[in-house]
Amino acid sequence: MALLESIKIPLGTKIPDFSLKDTFGKQYEGKDLLGERGLLLFFTCNHCPYAQAVWPRMLRLGLYAQGMRMGVVAINPNINPDFPDDSPAKMREAVERMGIPFPYLVDEEQAVAKAFKAQCTPDIYLFNQAGNLVYHGRIDDNWKDEEAVTKEELKEAMNNL
């Protein structure tokens, strides 16, 4: 298991255009996902231990963002025979099992992940209502143990929108 650093992109960067389907075949356009106050975007997957550890937090933060009138989306760029847990069928199971309340999109060619320069999961982006990047970083200061979290950077960034 390799811990990769995110490739930092400049704050103010516009949301790249993209079009992806969810696990049920519904098409989504990136520009249509932007909510009244912005967009919270997670690059994540099912198999990665880091992503597995923070899925409960992503779900809670997604609901929190929706309550703030923000759009929320998760994108899985790990569609590969080497990762059978990340197949669209397994993603669909995860949506149903966890009750994911926002679109979980399939990035089969990793084109969208590359457009965002996302290289690890989870990789988190927060855009304001104008579609400009205002936060790119971690959820909090302890991915492994939620009980030991002392700083919630993503939630702070959301509250500052």
pLDDT in tens, 124-154: 999 999 999 999 999 998 887 878 889 999 9
Residue 2: pLDDT over 70? no
What average pLDDT score do residues 6-15 get? 88
Task: Please report the pLDDT score of residue 126 as a whole number.
Answer: 98
Does residue 33 sit within a domain?
Answer: yes
Does residue 126 sit within a domain?
Answer: yes
Task: Please report the pLDDT score of residue 1 as a whole number.
Answer: 39
Does residue 40 sit within a domain?
Answer: yes
Residue of 29, 35, 55 lying closest to 44 (CA atoms) = 55
Does residue 124 sit within a domain?
Answer: yes
**11-65 residue pLDDT tens:** 999 999 999 999 999 999 999 999 999 999 999 999 999 999 999 999 999 999 9
pLDDT bucket at 94, cuts 50 / 70 / 90: very high
Q: How far is CA 97 from CA 22, 56, 57, 104, in A?
A: 16, 12, 15, 13
pLDDT bucket at 4, cuts 50 / 70 / 90: low
Q: What are phi and psi of 152, to 5 degrees?
A: -105, 80
Q: What are phi and psi of 112, to 5 degrees?
A: -70, -45
Does residue 61 sit within a domain?
Answer: yes
Task: Please report the pLDDT score of residue 5 as a whole number.
Answer: 64
Helix count and strand count (H, E) for the chain: 5, 7
Is this prediction's pTM over 0.85? Answer: yes
pLDDT bucket at 76, cuts 50 / 70 / 90: very high
Does residue 143 sit within a domain?
Answer: yes
pLDDT bucket at 115, cuts 50 / 70 / 90: very high
Task: Please report the pLDDT score of residue 80 as a whole number.
Answer: 80
Side chain identity at 28, as an amino acid letter? Y
Q: How many domains is the chain partitioned into structurally?
A: 1
Does residue 11 sit within a domain?
Answer: no
Structural domain range at position 153: 21-159
Does residue 2 sit within a domain?
Answer: no
CATH code of 138's domain: 3.40.30.10
Q: Find the helix or strand (DSSP H, E) in which 64 lies.
A: helix 49-67
Average predicted confidence (pLDDT) for the chain: 92
Residues paired with 126 in a beta bridge: 40, 135
Task: Please report the pLDDT score of residue 7 as a whole number.
Answer: 78
